[in-house]
């Protein structure tokens, strides 16, 4: 792995997956191959691994990282929303475990030209898949003020969303990350002290919109459940309250037999539970991990098991 990349909740994730000799595992967010490497070296005989990432550079880095293993993992550039298709095509149906490690890697943030970070001057891009058409530039410079405001408020949970959207539209064209960050800072800083940079929530929201992250996550979680064998584990590490709430909601739904409205006298939904929640409370990094890797501070891990 490149310097600066540290897998989050690495030990806890491997324990949660209950990695078995010759088991089959799917890493839906390869990143730099940190968690994938931990899965492959956890037991002998080695497990089989299917790795997925939208970012071509991440797949390339992971391939280099994991080339030491004789049983070559299957690594794919693709959207984990199609995990069921990849699993079927590559023999990973009835998997023993599926791992999601959401969010950005340190390497993506440090690659200035990708436009993910407000700390590095670059064109507004923010695409995980550089082949897709929609970029952050289009969101910022072509979307309506109302739509930008909704994105920043809903995906970034930014209280100043309307003010930021109005400022963006008034200053168009906004071409670079530093232009956008400076504009946001002038608005948010006025509202008082914050532990995070003024532009954090807005950049996060625009990135999530560009990459359809919430829709893809919902689809990926639901399809992954059908890929797991009975007793197989799903482990999800999220860094955003919106993502964590979605994971929690889906896990709760799939671990409940009846999902009819509370006021219903009789069950008419015919819903049957397919998952069992393993940890009712989220697992968070230890203080020592946060000290060594400050970006892990917002990580939340949830675990469910197919029944």
| pLDDT tens over the chain, length 307 residues | 444 467 999 999 999 999 999 999 999 999 999 999 999 999 999 999 999 999 999 999 999 999 988 778 999 999 999 999 999 999 999 999 999 999 787 677 666 678 998 988 999 999 999 999 999 999 999 999 999 999 999 999 999 999 999 999 999 999 999 999 999 999 987 665 566 789 999 999 999 999 999 999 999 999 999 999 999 999 999 999 999 999 999 999 999 998 888 777 788 888 899 999 999 899 999 999 999 998 899 999 999 999 9
Residue 114 inside a domain? The answer is: no
Please count the structural domains in the chain. Answer: 2
Same domain, 218 and 201: no
Best CA proximity match to 301, nearest among 5, 6, 13, 27: 13
Same domain, 14 and 100: yes
Residue 45 inside a domain? The answer is: yes
Residue 1 inside a domain? The answer is: no
Residue 116 inside a domain? The answer is: no
Residue-level pLDDT at 194: 63
d(Cα 84, Cα 202) in Å, to the nearest integer?
A: 32
Tokens of 188: 């948010």
Same domain, 224 and 103: yes
Same domain, 71 and 91: yes
Same domain, 284 and 235: yes
* Residue reference for tokens 């920043």: 152
| Domain CATH for 169 | 1.10.150.170
**pTM of the prediction?**
0.92
Same domain, 217 and 258: yes
Residue-level pLDDT at 269: 85
Of the residues 166, 181, 210, the one at which a domain ends: 210
Residue-level pLDDT at 1: 42
What range defines the domain where residue 274 resides?
A: 10-107+213-306
Same domain, 234 and 172: no
Find out whether 296 and 285 touch, Cβ atoms under 8 Å: yes
Of the residues 183, 210, 237, the one at which a domain ends: 210
Same domain, 103 and 224: yes
Dihedral sign, Cα of residue 207, residue 212, residue 213, residue 214: positive
Residue 280 inside a domain? The answer is: yes
Cis peptide before 200 (omega within 30 of 0): no
Same domain, 225 and 298: yes
For the chain, where are the alpha helices, taking DSSP H only? 10-17, 34-41, 56-65, 83-89, 106-110, 136-142, 145-156, 161-170, 177-188, 200-210, 213-227, 241-254, 287-292
| Domain CATH for 39 | 3.40.50.150
């Amino acid at each position: 792995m490149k310097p600066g990349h540290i897998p989050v909740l690495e030990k806890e994730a491997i324990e949660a997956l209950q990695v078995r000799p010759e088991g089959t595992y799917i890493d839906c967010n390869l990143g730099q191959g940190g968690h994938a490497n931990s899965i492959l070296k956890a037991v002998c005989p080695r497990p089989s691994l299917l790795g997925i990432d939208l970012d071509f550079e991440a797949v390339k880095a992971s391939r280099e990282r994991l080339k030491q293993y004789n049983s070559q993992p299957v690594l794919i550039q693709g959207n984990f929303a199609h995990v069921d298709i990849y699993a079927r095509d590559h023999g990973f149906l009835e998997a023993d475990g599926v791992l999601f490690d959401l969010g950005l890697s340190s390497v993506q943030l440090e690659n200035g030209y990708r436009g993910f970070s407000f700390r590095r001057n670059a064109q507004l891009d923010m695409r995980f898949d550089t082949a897709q058409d929609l970029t952050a530039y289009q969101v910022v410079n072509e979307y309506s003020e109302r739509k930008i405001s909704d994105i920043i408020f809903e995906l970034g949970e930014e209280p100043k969303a309307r003010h930021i959207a109005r400022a963006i539209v008034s200053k168009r064209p906004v071409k670079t990350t530093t232009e956008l960050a400076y504009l946001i800072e002038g608005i948010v800083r006025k509202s008082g002290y914050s532990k995070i940079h003024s532009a954090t929530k807005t950049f996060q929201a625009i990135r999530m919109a560009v990459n359809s992250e919430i829709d893809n996550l919902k689809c990926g979680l639901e399809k992954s459940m059908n890929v797991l064998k009975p007793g197989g584990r799903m482990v999800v590490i999220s860094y955003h309250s919106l993502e964590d709430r979605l994971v929690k909601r889906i896990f709760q739904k799939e671990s409940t037999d009846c999902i009819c409205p509370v006021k219903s006298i009789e069950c008419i939904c015919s819903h049957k539970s397919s998952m069992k929640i393993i940890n009712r409370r989220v697992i968070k990094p230890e203080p020592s991990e946060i000290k060594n890797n400050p970006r892990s501070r917002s990580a939340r891990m949830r675990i469910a098991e197919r029944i």
